[in-house]
């Protein structure tokens, strides 16, 4: 083992492994790939399907589908319209993780936090 090989926990199942190009172990990577293909094909055939429908079709938890959406891989594969809930207010959205309204208020909150945590006010 070279000095810079690093041990990490698999992002999905938590098994300890040497960090390679990915942060998931080969087993989980394969499962994720299969899920990704299933979800991608389903959404291409059923644009605008809801998270629930996708999860049902792929026989997996909705969280897994949400994770795929968040990773941006589906978008890169050309699948854009997945109906899923805004992370904050549960409104139905088709891209990103929060709706336009929440995005706006998040921006305002971040701005406020920045104002509060100015170094000269410590």
Binding site residues, Zn ion, CB under 5 A: 10, 12-13, 15, 25, 28, 86, 88-89, 91, 99, 102
For the chain, the straight-line distance linking the first and the last C-alpha, in angstroms and rounded, comes to 45
As measured in angstroms, the least distance from the Cβ of 89 to Zn ion is 3
Nearer to Zn ion, 29 or 62 (CB): 29
Nearer to Zn ion, 13 or 44 (CB): 13
d(CA 54, CA 7): 34
Of 36, 72, 70, the C-alpha closest to 54 is 36
As measured in angstroms, the least distance from the Cβ of 94 to Zn ion is 13
Nearer to Zn ion, 82 or 99 (CB): 99
- For residue 8, report the phi and psi dihedrals to the nearest 5 degrees: -135, 165
As measured in angstroms, the least distance from the Cβ of 39 to Zn ion is 19
d(CA 13, CA 1): 23
């Amino acid at each position: 083992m070279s000095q810079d090989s690093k041990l990490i926990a698999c992002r999905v199942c938590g098994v300890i492994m040497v960090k390679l190009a990915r942060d998931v172990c080969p087993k989980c990577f394969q499962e994720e790939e299969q899920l990704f293909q299933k979800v991608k094909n389903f959404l291409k055939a059923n644009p605008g399907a809801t998270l629930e429908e996708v999860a049902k079709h792929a026989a997996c938890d909705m969280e897994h589908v949400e994770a795929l959406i968040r990773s941006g891989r589906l978008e890169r594969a050309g699948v854009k319209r997945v109906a899923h809930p805004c992370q904050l207010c549960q409104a139905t959205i088709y891209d990103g993780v929060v709706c336009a309204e929440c995005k706006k208020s998040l921006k305002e909150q971040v701005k406020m936090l920045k104002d509060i945590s100015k170094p000269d006010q410590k």
